[in-house]
């Protein structure tokens, strides 16, 4: 049986998700540059951009690469072999969050891709958090986006370079702008 750390999901459940989309971001200072999108049309374009998908996948690949190539302790090695089971266990916790994203999409007319992007982002945060609890040295990317969601906004795109790296470090976020709504 997979031991999930549900504290991150409990935290997210407490957020006023989507409450401030379309308004200026007033959250805490972020560890990366960002660009505020102002229209649902811009959000739709950003969500469907191959660059955004590449950004998400490269962040995931970096975590997987690190776990497979820089094992630090026995638990990390064991947990890395259970990756798919861990993903499934966290997916089971997401339906109510997905419903909120779907309702937001229907209410605002934003492209329904937002539901899948939102679900994927929350799942990536859960996976990073899961392995961070085992080894705080893992590269984190998605956990750094948590304050955006806490402030009632969402991430929806990336403008800039996405450099692949083979050194186990996270994406160099100084090479672009995170798009938020």
The pLDDT of 18-43, averaged and rounded, is 93
According to DSSP, the residues that pair with 179 across neighbouring strands are: 35, 157
Alpha-carbon gap, residue 67 to 64, rounded angstroms: 5
Alpha-carbon gap, residue 157 to 50, rounded angstroms: 9
User: pLDDT value at position 18?
Assistant: 97
Flag whether pLDDT at 27 surpasses 90. Answer: no
**Predicted TM-score (pTM) of this structure:** 0.90
Q: Are 119 and 43 in contact (CB under 8 A)?
A: no
3-class secondary structure, 159: strand
**Higher pLDDT among residues 21 and 62, named by residue:** 21
Least confident of 45-49, 151-155, 163-167: 163-167
Q: Are 33 and 172 in contact (CB under 8 A)?
A: no
Mark residue 107 as left, alpha or beta (left: phi above 0; alpha: psi -120 to 50; beta: remaining): alpha
User: pLDDT value at position 37?
Assistant: 97
Could you tell me the pLDDT band of residue 166, with boundaries at 50, 70 and 90?
A: low
User: pLDDT value at position 165?
Assistant: 64
Could you tell me the pLDDT band of residue 115, with boundaries at 50, 70 and 90?
A: very high
User: pLDDT value at position 49?
Assistant: 96
According to DSSP, the residues that pair with 128 across neighbouring strands are: none
- Give the sheet arrangement for strand 176-180, strand by strand: 34-36, 176-180, 155-160
């Amino acid at each position: 049986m997979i031991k999930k750390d549900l504290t991150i999901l409990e935290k997210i459940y407490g957020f006023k998700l989507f409450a401030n989309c379309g308004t200026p971001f007033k959250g805490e200072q972020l560890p990366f540059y960002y660009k505020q999108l102002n229209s649902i049309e811009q959000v739709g374009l950003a969500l469907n951009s191959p660059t955004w998908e590449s950004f998400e996948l490269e962040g995931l690949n970096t975590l997987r690469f690190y776990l497979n190539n820089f094992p630090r302790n026995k638990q990390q090695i064991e947990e890395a072999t259970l990756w798919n089971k861990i993903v499934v266990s966290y997916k089971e916790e997401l339906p109510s969050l997905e419903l909120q994203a779907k309702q937001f999409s229907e209410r605002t007319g934003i492209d329904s891709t937002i539901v899948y992007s939102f679900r994927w982002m929350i799942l990536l945060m859960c996976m990073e958090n899961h392995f961070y609890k085992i080894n705080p040295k893992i590269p984190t990317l998605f956990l750094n986006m948590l304050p955006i969601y806490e402030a009632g906004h969402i991430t929806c795109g990336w403008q800039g370079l996405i450099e692949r790296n083979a050194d186990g470090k996270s994406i160099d976020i100084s090479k672009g702008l995170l798009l938020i709504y």
